[in-house]
Structure 1
Amino acid sequence: MSWDWLRDALQWLFALTMWPTGVYFLLANTAMLVLICIAAAHFSRYLRRSEHRGEDAMAASPVSLGVTVIMPAYNEAAVILTSVRSVLDLRYPDHEVIVVNDGSADETMARLKDAYRLVPDDRDIPGRIPVRGAVRGIWRAPDGAVPLIVVDTDNSGRSDSVNLGLDLASKDLVVMVDADSILEPDALLSVSKPFADDPERVVATGGVVRIVNNSRVQGGRIVDVRMPKQLIARIQVVEYLRAFLLGRTAWSDLGALILISGAFGMFRRDVLIETGGLDADSIGEDFELVMRIQRWILEGRRDHRVEFVAEPVSWTEAPSTMAVLARQRRRWHRGLWEVLWKYRGMLLNPRYGRVGMLALPYYWLFELLAPVVELAGLVLVPLGLLLGIVDPGFALLLLVVSYVFGTLVTLAAVVVEEASFHRYERWRDLGATLLAVLAESFGYRQLTAVWRVQGWWAALTGKQQVWGVMTRSGFAEGDEAAEAQAPRT
């Protein structure tokens, strides 16, 4: 039996797709490089005026806008006391903390009760935002010594827990942080400064998220920043720098920021309530919320904006096993697809300005479609070489524009971050970062492409989303016993 028909079909397919694939990767990496350059210019301006930001005045001001920090927690016993302590000790004149225990099956609630000597609270729930989880009880620190409220609920998911915290919030600004996060001391001052500078226009700000794995924590503070021990976590450090720090800084400067990480975002409470809070049915709830706010701004022709703040940092624990990372990336890409599809009417619609004409096309082309294009190239190019119908020179060119150029772009991101903020003091950590840049292209990138396509396929076929378990190793505390003592007042 002759296989000439298959060879002819493949030859036609390669002729049709190879050059567009090369152009695609060239454009994708060039677009990221442009974003990195925009972010570099932003950091240069930011550092020049860093001594005149006025944070000390804000810290002492009695008229600074009050902040409610909402922390949903599900089975976070390993990290909950450190996280709550870090938030309570933030340098800010007026902030409260609401922890929503989302039906944890571990000792999360018990540890909070013991550490803070919580007593029952009989306050009413306003009901401004509908929630699904039944409230088992509301607790507070005794005598108002610590501005902490803990709500114990049936398990209903992170978004529903945040909505309950939002309904109970009493301050003008609301911050959402994950229970596996540690905020730097000036986090609230920095992320709230755009609100203080332009209170009428700014409605939301996002902060930087970095990886805490292997860094040393004491008293709810990062006292020694280190690169993670596992290569898989080190590569995620590089990813976070490229996408979460530089990418979002650039989109903010372009006036088209459409994603604020759920691990560290600040919002005007009245805007959140008016727009309905988080969508409890959305996998990408943080992305969906910012998209809804941007649509609310642009359709109403409101003079508002969403900003990103390059410092300070929320430190979070990243997946350190392949199984957990795979679940995370499937969930992220599924959420990306569902939100982009939900707001597809904004794509290339001049009514939505830079969001519709710039940011959304980028996310559709270079975020959503990227793993499909990459996996197709990984299959077709070797097959074409094997059959002798792909020119080796062209295959090499494709390798250069996709992987070599991509690696150089990531290296540029690391250089910009190191020159601007220099978070890792040890030479060995810098060397580990550079090795992670190289390692990302060999196996890791291909695996994440597979997982992302699996997440997209699960969404398209209507497969039920299973969140799975994010195993926490806990923070590297200098003295774990001291963490369980009564907090400072």
Structure 2
Amino acid sequence: MAIGWMVLGYMVLVISFYSLLLLISFVQLRKTYQLDEREPYEELLHLHQTKPVSILVPAYNESVGIMATVRSLLSIEYPEYEIIIVNDGSTDDSLEKLIESFQLVKIKWVIRRQLDTKQVKAVYQSRIYKNLLVVDKENGGKADALNAGINVSNYPYFCSIDGDSVLERTAFLKVMKPIIESDGEVIASGGSIRIANGCEIESGEIVKVGLSRSPIVVMQVIEYLRAFLMGRIGLSRHNLLLIVSGAFGVFSKRWVVEAGGYSHTVGEDMELVVRLHRYVKEQKADKKIVYVPDPVSWTEAPESLKYLRRQRRRWHRGLFESLWIHRRLIFNPKYGSIGMVSIPYFLIIEFLGPVVELMGYLVMLLSIFFGGVYLEFAILLFLLSVLYGSILSMASVLLEEWTIRKYPKASDIIRLFFYSLTETLWYRPLTVLWRCEGILDVLRRKTGWGEMARKGVSK
């Protein structure tokens, strides 16, 4: 029963914390409600303060999705940018497709080696689009590919994009806006990631937003809504954000290079953000890392339990690596709110949370057999788990409907609501189990990303 009370206390703490994040996110989103109608983003196209951006796309065996990604990047609305595709030793026909489709030719390119990487074999430039470069290098992993892209890049800011992502046309204007207006105070800015499965995409552009028929994919849509609209807005509001998604984030190249670039970890995107916070604090600089909810990058989600399980286990290993590398920050007042609030939150709630939740599920199962007061306790735990999972997920769907409204069909919102209600009954226990397996992978010192299957989401 002592374990049960511990689980109960933990869940009350977590629910209180997430409820606070929900309130902050709601207020912040309502302030920027229908931002497009009031904010003149078009002016950013002509302002001399608008910073040029290097868009880095690490690609390893991305033949299925890379063409749609490049087409979407070529059509974005932004005054000055270059696209750098980094072919990280792909064994499929990714490079050949790019060469043929965009008329790539080898060029002599002086590479400023600011960060150590595997050998670059060749640099190509498109005859059609002069701002499109392709770097062909030896395989070194995603972090190595991004560091190579930074070395090749010309501009003071860079954006990391996954090889299977599709950007909305105005996404860059929106994600760059806080950087442009802050005059150097904001050194990183992240946008939202949404699930492309179920959407209609033609020539690298979202032509119709839709919802997949797969329950697994729908649950991931809800997860992403909760993680981005509720979690990241609340953390960003007080400069506590530790994750800028590797699928869509803009960084100051100077600060990233000074901090050492991307590290060879499974969760290289989070580790870089934590290291930037740490470096900024140690330099006693007043800098911010922010999240902007409206700009969206659409990406393909796993459609099978096998690959989803592999992804979640990897994510949890990546979380541990970032926390372990920067363990000195935990409850260290020298690092301000990052050390006293943000890092402990990710350790206690995000990393250890699955273990406590799994114990809660075991307590509920055992209480059924004991009956009496134990059964009543199990019911209380179950109701709290419903509040923790399903109700907060439903609130995230409401945030989406009240503010950004990416899903235009009422039937899609109804389906999201219905699946939110069922989350605690099947989906959340699965993700809890997979994340606990991720902890076991840490103890077994398992490394590597694991293979992920791509179907492609573009026509």
Question: Shorter-normalised TM-score: what interval?
Answer: over 0.9
- Give the 3 Å change call, closer, same or farther, for CA 112–360 of structure 1 in structure 2: same
Which of 473, 479, 482 pairs up with 2:455? Answer: 473
Asked if 1 retains the 8 angstrom alpha-carbon contact of 2:391 and 2:421, the reply is no
Which of 151, 168, 186 pairs up with 1:184? Answer: 168
- Tell me the secondary structure at the aligned position of residue 55 of structure 2: strand
- Paired residue for 1:256? 240
- Paired residue for 1:19? 5
> What amino acid maps onto 2:64 in structure 1?
A
How many angstroms does 1:48 deviate by?
Answer: 6.5
> What amino acid maps onto 2:456 in structure 1?
G
- Give the 3 Å change call, closer, same or farther, for CA 21–118 of structure 1 in structure 2: same
Which of 342, 357, 370 pairs up with 1:359? Answer: 342
CA distance in 2, matches of 1:324, 1:422: 29
Which of 122, 144, 153 pairs up with 2:108? Answer: 122
2:59 paired with 1:76: no
* 1:127-162 CA distance string (max 9 Å, x none): 110002x222110012x7431000111221111000
Asked if 1 retains the 8 angstrom alpha-carbon contact of 2:367 and 2:378, the reply is no
Choose 1 or 2 for highest CA Rg: 1
CA distance in 1, matches of 2:429, 2:181: 44
Q: Aligned runs of 1:315-464 on 2, under 5 Å? A: 315-388=298-371, 391-463=374-446
- Paired residue for 2:88? 102
User: How many pairs were matched up?
Assistant: 459
- Tell me the secondary structure at the aligned position of residue 204 of structure 1: strand
How many angstroms does 1:31 deviate by?
Answer: 1.3
- Paired residue for 1:207? 191
CA distance in 2, matches of 1:390, 1:457: 34
> What amino acid maps onto 1:431 in structure 2?
I
Which of 41, 47, 57 pairs up with 1:55? Answer: 41
* 1:186-214 CA distance string (max 9 Å, x none): 11111111111012211111110010001
Asked if 1 retains the 8 angstrom alpha-carbon contact of 2:46 and 2:79, the reply is yes
CA distance in 2, matches of 1:439, 1:405: 12
> What amino acid maps onto 1:368 in structure 2?
F
List alignment gaps of at least 5 residues for structure 1: 1-13, 478-489
CA distance in 1, matches of 2:142, 2:388: 38
- Paired residue for 1:242? 226
CA distance in 1, matches of 2:413, 2:184: 42
Query: Which shifted more, 267-276 or 466-475?
Result: 466-475
Asked if 1 retains the 8 angstrom alpha-carbon contact of 2:367 and 2:375, the reply is no
- Tell me the secondary structure at the aligned position of residue 260 of structure 1: coil
CA distance in 1, matches of 2:383, 2:267: 33
Asked if 2 retains the 8 angstrom alpha-carbon contact of 1:381 and 1:390, the reply is no
- Give the 3 Å change call, closer, same or farther, for CA 406–443 of structure 1 in structure 2: closer
- Give the 3 Å change call, closer, same or farther, for CA 389–459 of structure 1 in structure 2: farther
- Backbone CA RMSD of aligned residues: 1.5
- Give the 3 Å change call, closer, same or farther, for CA 48–136 of structure 1 in structure 2: closer
How many angstroms does 1:216 deviate by?
Answer: 0.2
- Paired residue for 1:483? none
Which of 136, 150, 169 pairs up with 2:121? Answer: 136
- Give the 3 Å change call, closer, same or farther, for CA 89–160 of structure 1 in structure 2: same
CA distance in 1, matches of 2:71, 2:34: 32
> What amino acid maps onto 2:77 in structure 1?
R
> What amino acid maps onto 1:267 in structure 2?
F
User: Structure 1-normalised TM-score?
Assistant: 0.91
* 1:397-443 CA distance string (max 9 Å, x none): 11111224431121111111111011111122112211221232222
CA distance in 2, matches of 1:395, 1:388: 9
- Tell me the secondary structure at the aligned position of residue 426 of structure 2: helix
CA distance in 1, matches of 2:129, 2:438: 46
Which of 4, 12, 18 pairs up with 1:32? Answer: 18
- Tell me the secondary structure at the aligned position of residue 78 of structure 2: coil
Asked if 2 retains the 8 angstrom alpha-carbon contact of 1:26 and 1:402, the reply is no
Q: Between the two proteins, what is the percent identity of the paired residues? A: 36
CA distance in 1, matches of 2:388, 2:159: 38
Which of 269, 287, 293 pairs up with 1:286? Answer: 269
How many angstroms does 1:460 deviate by?
Answer: 2.0
How many angstroms does 1:47 deviate by?
Answer: 2.0
- Tell me the secondary structure at the aligned position of residue 47 of structure 1: coil
Asked if 1 retains the 8 angstrom alpha-carbon contact of 2:364 and 2:382, the reply is no
CA distance in 2, matches of 1:374, 1:404: 13
List alignment gaps of at least 5 residues for structure 2: none
How many angstroms does 1:355 deviate by?
Answer: 1.1
Regions of 4+ moved over 4 Å: none
